[in-house]
């Protein structure tokens, strides 16, 4: 018989290719500033903890007995292209100053300031067959992963940067991410 889920619309509803990462996304007519070329793809993750509120007498999970207790949304980007701004974005709480004539020196404070948060980091990608794009936006983003850059013979260095979304302290009930999907 062959059950497979393929239908006439299947190949017009796929997210394709690597997408492009932006800072300052305000919609598809105002994408913001591109953060550079990537290699190896990009990954959006929502980690969540869903707690079951157990009660005497229940024999297992009961509808309505679950609640979300923790959420962490992140976007890992593998940057092939490197700039001073990109290194500073990847090293939270860093700054730079001119060193000699042709160099900048990056240093870092151990204190994260409110100005270190990026209002939003967004990946925009193509959707097959729709002549449209989709986007995933992280609000109040901060690069909080490790900084690792390999120098390898006959290869280019790729810097994996993980941006994590942060809740707005004025509204802790709204998760700090949005997915924009075309409605055509």
Could you tell me the mean pLDDT of each successive run of 10 residues in the chain, 184 residues long? 88 89 96 96 96 94 95 97 96 96 95 96 91 93 93 94 97 96 84
Q: Where are the domains of the chain?
A: 10-180
pLDDT at 183: 84
CA 111 to the chain's CA centroid = 23
Q: Under a CB-based contact definition with an 8 Å cutoff, are residues 98 and 104 in contact?
A: yes
Residue 42 CA to residue 154 CA, distance in Å, equals 23
pLDDT at 23: 97
Q: Which fold has domain 10-180?
A: Pnp Oxidase; Chain A (2.30.110)
pLDDT at 11: 87
Q: Is 72 helix (H, G, I), strand (E, B) or coil?
A: strand
Q: Tell me whether residue 127 is exposed, middle or buried, using C-beta atoms within 10 angstroms of its C-beta: 0 to 12, 13 to 18, 19 or more.
A: middle
């Amino acid at each position: 018989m062959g059950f497979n889920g393929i239908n006439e619309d299947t190949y017009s509803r796929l997210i394709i290719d690597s997408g492009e990462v932006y800072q300052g996304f305000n919609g598809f007519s105002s994408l913001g500033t591109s953060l550079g070329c990537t290699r190896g793809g990009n990954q959006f993750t929502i980690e969540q903890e869903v707690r079951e509120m157990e009660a005497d007498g229940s024999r297992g999970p009961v509808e309505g007995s679950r609640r979300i207790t923790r959420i962490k949304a992140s976007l890992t980007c593998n940057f092939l292209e490197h700039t001073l701004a990109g290194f500073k974005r990847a090293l939270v709480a860093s700054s730079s100053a001119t060193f000699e004539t042709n160099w900048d020196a990056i240093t870092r404070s151990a204190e994260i300031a409110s100005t270190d948060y990026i209002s939003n980091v967004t990946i925009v990608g193509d959707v097959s067959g729709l002549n449209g794009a989709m986007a995933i936006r992280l609000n109040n983003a901060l690069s909080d992963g490790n900084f690792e850059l390999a120098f390898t013979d006959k290869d280019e260095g790729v810097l994996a940067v993980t941006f994590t979304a942060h809740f707005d302290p004025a509204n802790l009930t709204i998760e700090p991410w949005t997915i924009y999907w075309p409605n055509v």
